Amino acid sequence: MSSYQVTENALQNKVILITGAGDGIGKTAALEFARHGAEVILLGRTVKKLEAVYDQIVAEGGKEPAIVPLDLEGATPNHYQQLAQTIKEQFGQLDGLLHNAGVLGNLRPFSQIPEQEWQQVMQVNLNSEFFMTQALLPVLKLAPAASVVFTSSGVGRKGRAYWGAYAISKFATEGMMQVLADEYSGSSIRFNCINPGATRTSMRARAYPGENPMQLKTPEEIMPVYLYLMSDNSLKVNGQSLDAQPK
């Protein structure tokens, strides 16, 4: 983990958008990026949660964040084009994009996944990443070195019974990252995945209701790899899927 250490000002002058920034890992990433000097754009569906993160960043003396209320389930390509336009006008460029928002759906046999649940998981975990990345590429290109980080999972690398739509969406996320990394190799934009590993959040508690959460790493403890991939320390890292909790 020590190789992921970054300096206090590692994200100075960087503009970073975080999806699902109101809770769990995304919230902690937003706070940590701001603590390391970044100007953060908080995107999520529950405005109250985003406002609480905003207030905490301002109270800690961080740069004033921006809030983008957006439900990824209903968002269309047009919403992402508008987002890109707003970022261009207000910030001039985008240095970092953390695709973090995600939903679990329900763990159940493959044969019993309802259409609506399949569509919802794919819409939030995969389609939003595709349309958002496509729309934001022009503003990412305006940064001297931009980092796009996707959030994977152990079940996005090896399939597991009953993890159906969620696992499949994470495999596709890994695939999208690889396609982009290859296509933009040698450019100013790099693309990588992080597998957070078991982390103490409400999503993990839903997936493993019988587990003692106190035995899990906290979002704070898995932050080094997030900071590393957003910082210029990782300029040469492209097309990798990194573990936030290496074994």
- Rounded CA-CA distance 39/134 in Å is 22
- Rounded CA-CA distance 117/61 in Å is 41
Q: Binders of ligand NDP among 1-20, rule CB under 6 A?
A: 20
Binds ligand NDP (CB under 6 A): choice among 14, 16, 18, 22:
22
Binds ligand NDP (CB under 6 A): choice among 68, 124, 165, 189:
124
* Residue 198 in the binding site for ligand NDP (CB under 6 A): yes
* Residue 127 in the binding site for ligand NDP (CB under 6 A): no
**Catalytic-residue membership of 162:** no
- The stretch near ligand NDP (CB under 6 A) out of 5-13, 89-97, 182-190, 198-206 is 198-206
SS3 state of residue 186: coil
Give residue number: closest CB to ligand NDP. Answer: 24
Binds ligand NDP (CB under 6 A): choice among 90, 112, 188, 202:
202
129 Rama class: left (phi>0) / alpha (psi -120 to 50) / beta: alpha
Tell me phi and psi for residue 134, to 5 degrees: -60, -45
Residues 6 or more apart whose Cβ sits within 8 Å of residue 226: 29, 32, 33, 98, 149, 194, 244
Neighbour count for residue 115 (Cβ, 10 Å):
7
* Residue 199 in the binding site for ligand NDP (CB under 6 A): yes
- The stretch near ligand NDP (CB under 6 A) out of 86-94, 107-115, 129-137, 192-200 is 192-200
Q: Which residues are catalytic?
A: 166
